Amino acid sequence: MDRRNLAFDRTNFILLAIGFAIVVIGFILMSGPSSTEEAFNPDIFSARRIKVAPVVCFVGFVSMIYAIVRKPKDNGADKQLDEQKKED
């Protein structure tokens, strides 16, 4: 398979991995102790779990969408190869 025919380049994959890591960090921020029937834990309603973590996840998902939508830039070498194929 020719590398020129791939939809993603290296930068797309790196951005996708960074976005995935940000989403995982957001879910880790959401985790924490839970309440039981015997004891109420007010940490459930902390700003970290209700405000910060969802925003971090949202930023991660948006960055992953950007990594998928981003169009790789053509190199000059690719254009030269295309021109040579057209001439032959």
How many structural domains compose the chain? 1
Whether residue 9 is contained in a domain is answered as yes
Spatial separation of the C-alpha atoms in residues 67 and 53, rounded to whole Å: 21
Whether residue 79 is contained in a domain is answered as no
Spatial separation of the C-alpha atoms in residues 34 and 27, rounded to whole Å: 15
Instruction: Scan for tokens 């996708």, then name that residue.
Output: 16
Spatial separation of the C-alpha atoms in residues 42 and 76, rounded to whole Å: 59
Predicted TM-score of the model (pTM): 0.73
**Mean pLDDT per 10-residue section of the chain, whose length is 88 residues:** 72 95 96 77 83 96 95 68 64
Are 12 and 70 a contacting pair, CB within 8 Å?
Answer: yes
Whether residue 44 is contained in a domain is answered as no
The pLDDT of residue 1 is 55
Tell me which residue range forms the domain holding 25.
1-33+65-72
22, two tokens: 């940000």
